[in-house]
Amino acid sequence: MEAVVTNFGMQAAAAEIFLLTAICVILLVDVFLDDSKRWVTYGLTMLTLAGCAFVTVNYAVDGRVIAFDGMFIADPMGDVLKLFTYGTVAVSLLYSREYLQRNGLFRGEFFILALVAMLGVMVMVSAGSLLTVYLGVELLSLSLYAMVAFDRDSGVAAESAMKYFVLGAIASGALLYGFSILYGVAGTLQLDELAVAVREVGAGNLGLIFGLAFVIVGIAFKFGAVPFHMWVPDVYHGAPTPVTMFIGSAPKIASFILAIRVLAEGLDAMVASWQNMLIAISIASMIIGNVVAIAQTNLKRMLAYSTISHVGFILLGILAGTNDGYRASMFYTLTYVIMAVGSFGMILLLSRKGFEGDQLEDFKGLARKSPWFAAVMMMLMFSTAGVPPFVGFWAKIAVLGAVVNVGLSWLAAVAVLLSVVGAFYYLRVIKLMYFDEPTDTYNIEAGGTLRAVLSANGVAVLALGIFPSVLLDLCARVLP
């Protein structure tokens, strides 16, 4: 649909402006609260998420609006991804509340950092310029570094945060360097103007290819794709479980939109170049992720390598270079986020004071202690493995179909083979729950809110698997 250019962008960016204002208000209110009243900050955070959703729906656009002199884009895809981000953050906070209270981490800073990270995602979703893209990347990244180190008494968390910060700074530098080269060759930072300039200069221009290589490095790091994945297992394992859940969900939406805005919109004429790069990264991610995950005994580390393999599948849709591929990749990203928050929610369900519940052996005999939540975990694992009739199966079918349609059947065959390999470690979790004896006699102590949200999460992967057209049609409408 033809873009509508406007110089008045306040309405287009209403959700971002509302969120930024709310962050300032919550920060100010939290200063005057003592520890016994942190629930006020939590409540204001949840109200802010609801307010963001209301504003986004109220100012939703039918077409594509370009505001702030091309720096900001409002379109249906952006609105859907923002709404999904709000929901993901809200569910993550609902899952996390009991853990944070139990471990002395129920502090206002956590919720403020989560909102700032979400603002970074929103800025990336609506980025119309390389400068806006980078602003969103840094808003998100700096918040995540602080969240990983949020448990100040944990040396492991501090070490993970330092690794994440150092490697993230290098990746951000590579991304910015790539952007600067693209600007030097094309003479513009606006993504729509960049697309035109690339066609005029020629996709084979050495400077453009050199800049593209650095951009791919930055994007691959933000995804956690091989060979820029070394931070993923350490951060997932070392961070408090609520932070791991947060990093494994909302930022994946940001990584997806980063690739779409920069590669599919700004550098679409160079599809032949970045397609080959992404093929190599995708295959490597699926191999390393699935093979190394088999050797893990810690569920958070296993899910970290699982994430790396799923990133390979998300990249399959993007590297197809077609609208079908982008839709499939968006569908896969959204379904992955639903499955990821549920999987980490199960760890939070089993955790208690002084017990993280993140070892595989902690799930032994769960079916005897809690048949329903063992069934929920089974649904999540089957869906993540891509077993029908769960939604993860349709997500894999969608990206594989997109790859086959562009003549890369061999790549689809490799992906299927590696999916079979990856199914082993998901089935192992199910085997532990149903066929092994419990290692302890503790009952699940989680409260009603966590139980209700987790139950809904498990049912969602089944319901969306039975009715996949709900999400598929939504992706098709916003990416025609």
Tens-of-pLDDT digits for all 480 residues of the chain?
445 555 456 788 889 999 999 999 999 998 888 877 888 999 999 999 999 999 999 988 888 888 888 889 888 999 999 999 999 999 999 999 988 888 888 888 999 999 999 999 999 999 989 999 999 999 999 999 999 998 888 888 899 999 999 999 999 999 999 999 999 998 889 998 999 999 988 878 888 999 999 999 999 999 999 888 899 999 999 899 999 999 999 899 999 999 999 999 888 888 888 999 999 999 999 999 999 999 998 999 999 999 999 999 999 999 998 899 999 999 999 999 999 999 999 999 888 777 777 888 888 888 888 899 999 999 999 999 989 889 999 999 999 999 999 999 999 999 999 999 989 999 999 999 998 888 777 777 778 888 999 999 999 999 999 999 999 999 998 886
Which residues touch 407 (CB under 8 Å, ≥6 apart)?
none
Give dist(CA 183, CA 154) in Å, integer.
42
Residue 226 is which amino acid?
Answer: V
Give dist(CA 250, CA 86) in Å, integer.
9
What's the burial of 17, exposed, middle or buried (CB within 10 Å: 0-12/13-18/19+)? middle
Domain that holds residue 172: 3-478
Count, residues in the chain: 480
* b (16+ CB within 10 A) / e for 296-310: bebbbbbbbbbbbbb
Number of C-beta neighbours around residue 122 at 10 A: 28
Query: Among 192, 194, 175, 173, which Cα is nearest to 183's?
Result: 194
**How many CA atoms lie within 13 Å of 328's alpha carbon, on the beta-carbon side?**
27
CA 420 from centroid of its chain's CA atoms: 24
Give dist(CA 437, CA 154) in Å, integer.
32
Model confidence pLDDT, tens digit, residues 169-210: 999 999 999 999 999 998 889 998 999 999 988 878 888 999
pLDDT for the residue 102: 87
Q: What is the DSSP letter of 103?
A: T
Tokens at residue 185, please? 């060759």
Model confidence pLDDT, tens digit, residues 389-400: 899 999 999 999
Give dist(CA 312, CA 393) in Å, integer.
15
pLDDT for the residue 63: 81
Model confidence pLDDT, tens digit, residues 100-159: 888 888 888 999 999 999 999 999 999 989 999 999 999 999 999 999 998 888 888 899
Give dist(CA 122, CA 218) in Å, integer.
19
* Structural domains of the chain, count: 1
Give dist(CA 266, CA 192) in Å, integer.
6
Number of C-beta neighbours around residue 16 at 10 A: 19
- Is the pTM higher than 0.85? The answer reads yes
The distance in angstroms from the start CA to the end CA of the chain is 9
